Amino acid sequence: MTEPADTGATTFSDFLQLINHGDAEITASERLREMLDTLRAHAAENQVSAKGSITVKIDLTLERGMLKAKAAISIKTPAPPATEATLFLSREGNPTAHDPRQGRLNFATTNGGAGETAPRTV
């Protein structure tokens, strides 16, 4: 009795399972789970939509009838939201936190702080 011919992997998922004895497929699944957890946490913490990507790169080399395959799976997670600062340009053109068009109030303690009353409880 003859054995049926090995037709090999006919789908991408079958092929991915062949690379490194299934480690590539396991790694891809782990990265997917990591991405989903990160997206959910990012969306909940920042009250915004979350976007990321998964990249599967497979390098193939056919040499003397042997197909060598090496897989790399990477993810790109959403960046934390950037905070914004409001700054002004000084007359010299340098960034500053103070609006140069407005005067400044200079607070000073008089009498060396004498005459101040201690806080009281009500």
Query: What is the pLDDT averaged over residues 51-60?
Result: 96
CB atoms under 10 Å from CB of 107, counted, come to 5
Whether the per-residue pLDDT at 1 is higher than 80: the answer is no
Domain assignments of the chain as residue spans, ordered by start: 12-76
The alpha-helical segments, DSSP class H, found in the chain are: 12-18, 23-46
Between 5 and 24, the higher pLDDT residue? 24
Q: Tell me 79's DSSP state.
A: P
Q: Which amino acid is at 94?
A: N
Give whole-number Cα distances, 109 to 105, 113, 114, 116, 117, in Å.
13, 6, 9, 10, 13
Task: Output phi, psi for 25, to 5 deg.
Answer: -70, -40
Q: What is the pLDDT of residue 112?
A: 61
Between 122 and 104, the higher pLDDT residue? 104
User: Could you read off the pLDDT of 13-55 as tens digits, one per residue?
Assistant: 999 999 999 999 999 999 999 999 999 999 999 988 999 999 9
Q: What is the pLDDT of residue 65?
A: 94
User: Could you read off the pLDDT of 65-103 as tens digits, one per residue?
Assistant: 999 999 999 999 998 888 888 999 988 999 998 888 888
C-alpha 99 chain-centroid distance: 35
Q: What is the pLDDT of residue 104?
A: 79
Q: Which amino acid is at 69?
A: A
Burial class (CB in 10 A: 0-12, 13-18, 19+), 75: middle
User: Could you read off the pLDDT of 100-116 as tens digits, one per residue?
Assistant: 888 877 777 766 656 66
Cα 31 from Cα 50, distance rounded (Å): 16
